[in-house]
Amino acid sequence: MRWQDERRSTNVEDRRGFPVRGAGVVGGGAILVALVATLLGAPPGLVRAILGGGGDETATETQAPNPADNERVDFVRAVLGSTEDVWTAVLPKSGRTYVPPKLVLFSDAVESACGVAGAAVGPFYCPPDRQVYLDLSFLRQLSTRFGAPGDFAQAYVIGHEVGHHVQNLLGISRRVQSQRAAAVSRAESNRLSVETELQADCLAGVWANHANQTHHVLEPGDVEGALRAATAIGDDALQRQAQGTVVPDSFTHGTSAQRVRWLRTGLERGRVEDCDTFNADSLGAL
């Protein structure tokens, strides 16, 4: 991915190494479950429940920033800057002005308006404070653990979280929350979650489509790398890896095939209106 010439965002806050209150110590089994839940896109509240409700009220010292991560921080700023430029131009076509989110870098644990999250939760978007939270270690895991190396695979992860911010600005997040609260079954609630996450994948593709049109950021193999990342973090792939079996009724993010399909849709078409993953009887068209 050709990201070196992209504008660097000023909306990045570095909290790596900051002490966090309420980040208790949990067992390795809980961390593994929380990691899988996060990769499936579970809300921070659910992950905190897995981790035991946030631990005690003592301050927890986090690791100091690794100087080797300096280039990754520069990369994150460049990708976020690209998303800002694209969505500032694209979102008004959907009747909204784009207000960029802040991206918070953290290590080990972080406090957000959604609560305290440990490093095991990986990247997430918190609608109440309109901020994206990212531990750089997750970007490394895409290559080492999930077999999806390459800058664009990492950029896709950031683009997905920014996609949730776009959903928030469009009022979709609020409507999903209302629909999930009224859901008569867990299966119905999970279906809405899947549709929300697949739409964020598609919106990540829309960003990449426009970034490539204007700045030619994609290089040969980049799209394949992002599709490998989407495949690796599909519900079925993660469940098979974690427990050896697949339980479709528990899906919250969609299968590998679904994630690939919607990311590819955004990449190829580049239109927000083509990212309508929701059924007509749930939230309606974009």
Give 232-249 pLDDT, tens digit per residue: 889 888 888 888 888 888
Task: Give the list of residues 6+ apart from residue 38 with CB closer than 8 angstroms, or none.
Answer: 47, 120, 121, 122, 123, 124
pLDDT band, very low/low/confident/very high, at 207 (cuts 50, 70, 90): very high
pLDDT score of 284 more than 50: no
pLDDT attached to residue 252: 85
> CB-based burial of residue 278 (10 Å sphere; 0-12 exposed, 13-18 middle, 19+ buried)?
buried
The pLDDT value recorded for residue 55 is 42
What average pLDDT does this structure show over 205-209? 98
283 is a domain residue: no
What does the pLDDT look like over 167-178, one tens digit per residue?
999 999 999 989
The arithmetic mean of pLDDT across residues 195-208, rounded, is 96
**Residue 265, pLDDT score:** 96
In a domain, 33, yes or no: yes
Question: In this predicted model, what pLDDT tens digit does every residue of 4-17 receive, in sequence order?
Answer: 999 999 999 999 98
Q: For the chain, how are helix, strand and coil distributed in percent, rounded to 5?
A: 55, 10, 35
| Surface-to-core class of residue 73, CB atoms within 10 Å of its CB (0-12 exposed, 13-18 middle, 19+ buried) | middle
Distance between CA atoms of residues 224 and 229, nearest Å: 9
Q: Tell whether 3 is covered by a domain.
A: no
Indicate whether 94 belongs to any domain: yes
286 inside domain: no
pLDDT 10s digits, 28-63: 333 344 444 444 444 444 444 434 444 444 445 555
Domain count, the chain: 1
Within-domain flag for 90 = yes
Is 215 in contact with 275 (CB distance < 8 Å)? Answer: no
| DSSP single-letter state for residue 205 | H
pTM of the model: 0.83
**Could you tell me the two tokens for 259?**
């994630």
User: Would you say residue 5 lies in a domain?
Assistant: no
Burial 178-201 (b: 16+ CB within 10 A, else e): ebbeebeeeeebbbbbbbbbbbbb
Domain coverage including residue 237: 12-275
- Find residue 21's DSSP bridge partners: 59
pLDDT > 70: percent of the chain: 81
Q: Is residue 127 part of a domain?
A: yes
What does the pLDDT read at residue 247? Answer: 85
Q: Do 132 and 165 touch, CB atoms closer than 8 A?
A: yes
